[in-house]
Structure formats: C-alpha cells, structure tokens
Amino acid sequence: MTRISFPTPETMNAEQLRVYQDIIQGPRARLVGPLRAALHNPELADRWQKMGALLRFGTSISPRASELAILVAARRWNSQLEWHIHAAAAQDAGLPQAVIDALLLAAPPRFDDVRDGAVYEYARQLLQRGVVGEAAYQEVLAMFGEAGTVELTAIIGYYSMVAMTLNAHHIPLPDIDTPLPLHPVAGNAEGVLTELPKAQS
C-alpha cells in the first residue's frame, strides 16, 4: 500500500494541473510511477518529466541499450514498478527474452550481441561499485562516443532516482491484481540491493 496520497485531476491546483496536462500530452501519454508523487511539488514534477522524457526518448542511445540499462537499475534496486514497465519496453525494443529472464532471476546473462554485453557490464559496475573500471568504460566509449557515454550514465542515474522514489513511497503497480515480478534472490531474503553477476563468457 502506498505511503502518500497522489494528486488527481479533481484535487490538483492550477500549477499541478498544468504539469499533469503536459505529461499526458507528451510521449508518456499517462501519469504513472514517480511523477505521481513528484506532483506534490509541481516544479519538481515538471523538471523531472522533462528530464525523463529526454533520457528515455531523446538521446543517441538506442531503445534496446537504454531499456537494458534501465532493467539493470530496476533489478539492482528491486523496483517492482520500474521492472514491470521496462521489461515490456525492453521486449518491444528487441532485447532477447533470455536476457530479460536472466536479469529477473539475477542470474548471469549470456549476450550474443557485444553491445548488449558492454552496456550490461557498464551499468552493473556503476550500480554495484559506484565506479566503472577502465576496460568497461573504454568499451562503451568506443561504441557510443563521449556524448553517448554521458547519456548512458545519466540514464542509469536517473532510473536509480526513479527506483528509489518508487521504493520509498511504495508506489504500486498500475493494476493491483498484477503479481509482483521481482522476488528476493538466494541470500537476499531481506530485499536489500540485489547483487548482479558478471555475464557468462
């Protein structure tokens, strides 16, 4: 159950309603996830939704690579709603189901595409250690260039903020009858951050 109230069009003030209209008329087309909480501060929600739209829809990073990085963040933070939304988006973007399933179980994924493997390792290291080793960094840099490497890092950071917001406020899945997709892995019964393994070689 959620810990806070969510503004609705009927209860929003004029500034909240303006931001709400911008959100539903943009590429998202609906108000979901952390923006439901952020609307308590409409200026925050406005800037949040613009950054989110840019990072999800307006970078040089392909949807497939972007959604993979988001899934790594969702699994690391055990964010149910983030996983629920972006597992479907990753499928639509062409990420192999076997990769999605491995991430769901926090099992070592196998990548047939070297670019997928590079994105996974970059995101894995950044989320687990707070830094990226030189080899992983240089591989991503060679693939995406400097601007793309900055964008990928920003995507990982942004979706970590999203996950923390969803987790802190207990923001539920859109359909209350939908089962939670993420389960604790062995040795992580308390639901703390999930350890992400290196990919299979």
Segment 33-63, tens digit of pLDDT = 899 999 999 999 999 999 999 999 999 999 9
Answer yes or no: are the C-beta atoms of 30 and 24 closer than 8 Å: yes
Segment 145-185, tens digit of pLDDT = 999 999 999 999 999 999 999 999 999 887 767 888 998 88
How far, in Å, CA of 94 to CA of 165, rounded? 28
pLDDT at 187: 65
Amino acid occupying residue 109: P
pTM, two decimals, is: 0.93
Q: Residues 6 or more apart from 194 whose CB is under 8 A from it?
A: 75, 76, 77, 78, 106, 185, 188
Domains of the chain: which residue ranges?
A: 14-57, 63-169
Structural tokens at position 22: 């911008």
